[in-house]
Structure 1
Amino acid sequence: MPLAVKAQTTATRTPFKAVSLFDGTADYRTFSIGVNGGALAPVSPTGGSNDFTKWKADFGYGAYVKWQILHSLALRADYLGGKLSANNDNNLGNGSRPQSPYSEFETKLKYTASLSAVATVLNINWLHRENFVGLYLSAGAGLAGYSPRITPVGGAAQDYKTGGGNINELVIPVGAGVKFKLTDLLNLDLGYTTYFTDGDNLDGYNKPPQKDKFSYGYAGLEFVFGAPGKKQLQFTNPAVVLYDELQAQKMANDQMQARLNNALASNDSLAASVARLTADEDGDGVSNFFDKCPGTPAGAKVDGSGCPLPVPEPPKVIEKVTVTEEDNRIVREAVKNLEFATGKSDIKPHSYETLNRVADLLVKRGFSLKLAGHTDNVGRPDKNMILSKERAESVKAYLVARGANPSRIEATGYGQTQPIASNKTAQGRQTNRRVEFTIY
């Protein structure tokens, strides 16, 4: 360790403007924009080339805006456009021709807009304060708009969607790349991103169960903004910065000690110097020399720098809430009148009046409320579980809109797991379709 200290404090270390690692990112460049171009292809390392056997590489282009939040984490908003195409010229893996009604497709990727988190990895070492190369991983979500044209075997190309309209789908971009620092204002960016779509429409051939995906390999430039003299946060090595900060603090402490020693030596007497150093005008037990809050009121408790300690808040008195029979009657009436649209979580308007009384009760009396949604056994259990939860949440949302405290309302769905009547009769199923109210 002593050898490492000497190596990092030699004259070969490039001097930097003094910054504090604990003062945020104000002393670094954190905003940048990037432009790039490269190859777009309907293929993915995780799942082949969608529904066609031979993918093609077409030109793609993109741009992004990035905000570096920490040394190793950034938020990036991306745009991507271009073209995707493939055909069935290649045989299948067993040598046979693909059994497909289509021979090829071409999709115009009009836009892909996404927001991703970008994590810089391997940017910590013990040799340099700044790195010149950084590896990064990215993942996010966004929306893609595209219009496929599909060519049937032996036929002419046609729009997949009537009129050539856009298809808009959710996409999940996952990528990796390497970035080279050319100057404090310019970086070279090389990367590869796979976009997973939430559908099977990208190539114009809907062939479940797999969803389509495409990839983009690119090279580009990143332009970094900031005041002159500031360094890029993404290439700053936090470990060495911290070490240099500690060394600078140690040097400042040594200089302060030297000034103090000189002051003591220059005084007429050591006793006079000590008296000045130990004087405590406000009587808080911290000498004037170290007191950062002079004039503290007598008797106030202070910290080591002479500043008052925070006064703890008095404990809150929690009043006991009693539920009356009238309160229970209002709740029972609301439960009795509560109805939803068939198969939905929409509350019917005739239920509003009694729900309003429950909301007033929660606001005026400060009660807590538990909502438990239930269904009959018609339909799939997982769908019923979701529906029961949504109905309970719908009631909660209505009560909150009427002024109730959302933190005092619990909404839970139990689906068809807790029937109170037989599901073999229409009356029993209707009884089981309910939302139970419990106030306390």
Structure 2
Amino acid sequence: MKTNLKKASLLLTGVMVGSKLFAQSPDTTVSSANYVEPFSGGDKLRTWSIGIHGGMLSPSTFLVNMSRQDFRSPHENIGYGAYIKKQILPSFGLQADFLRGKLEGGLGQTNVASGNTPQSFSTDLNWSAALSGQFTLANINWRHKKGAIQPYITAGGGVIAYRPSIVNADGSRTGFSDGGGNIHKVYIPVGAGFKINMGSGINLDLGYQIGFVNGDNLDGYNYGMNNDKFSYAHVGLEFSLGSRSKPEMATYNPVNSMRTEYLRKTSDLQSQLNMQKEENAKLRSDLNTTNDNLNKLTADTDGDGVPDMYDKCPGTPAGTQVDGSGCPIGKREVKVYVTEEDKKVVKDAIDNLEFDFGKATIRAKSYPSLDRVAQLLVDKNFSLKLAGHTDNVGSDAANLKLSKARAESIKSYLVSKGANASRIEATGYGESQPIASNKTAAGRQQNRRVEFTLY
């Protein structure tokens, strides 16, 4: 185990040193280097890249309990590989993967049928080739305008070629092959990780992958009913191909380009706006002078509608009716206010109002309270608004017609008792303005109403 950790440390150190050698000078012009004119097409971006990686291969994964596997003690070994990727969309790319390494494990399960308990296994993973889709989940950055970290997930399918051997309980070794060569199986690689941008076109790739093999002899030993799996944790470098003047599609931030375009146009518009402000200031000064002169001609200090320069009776009290020279004429209008007693008369009329079912005919018990409303309108010359409403039983058109007819019926009755028809407004709203739920009988009863508004 210590040897494997030493190997992994050396591999990680090598990759990090390589990244320093390949890294370019930091991008100090983020907004310009990462700028592409919005909606200008994918040819303005770098879409091809290659990658190399190395890491730890293990027959164990976090998905399975090793006590139930063919070999219960996994041993980690160095693995390495490479890929070439085509970025199709900012969030999706296709890559061809290559992987090579070794898998080892010990403490084999006992075969009940044969009584054999293998000591360990060793499998040379001579090569694997797969085509995978890589989905970029986000471009994360807390400091700059372009992405710095890209979490991703991958899934695909391919072929794995391997040759296992087993050390039996007696110390003998048994090798397995397919007609003298590698055993070939279909497998499905699924993984996740994230990439860190280290320079122009260089990314540090950290990931974890599980390979699901369509077979149970990856370790050369068939035990149980499960297909074999293996895991690969890796660190690597990805290099974008193409001109350095083009941003990478995988890390490109189109919002930043739109922002840059916006700022450029904003600057031009600001210059035009400053010039326009100067012209507007001059026009405003001329307009203020004109308004001052106009105000002198139209000033009406006492608010009687006659300008001061023509007003022969300045200081007329507010509300006084005046003639063309601004002097009072006739008798001042006496305002009449709606009292609580008046409101009670109207409320009684509403409470006692009843119609024949489905008709606009007022029932006789409603007449006395309506008579008192009519007398109130005659005595105080009030105005009255009648608003008819229904529940939602029946069609919209029928309800609207019925509500209007009932309001008109009340108006006709009040006019017949001496009220001024020009001061009564009758309107129907149908079922459009409920004051209670139409789902209950009590609610529908409240919605069948005529509202009186006295003013």
Q: Based on CA coordinates, which of the two structures has the bigger radius of gyration?
A: 2
Kindly indicate which of the two structures has a greater share of residues assigned to helix. Answer: 2
Q: TM-score, normalised by structure 2?
A: 0.48
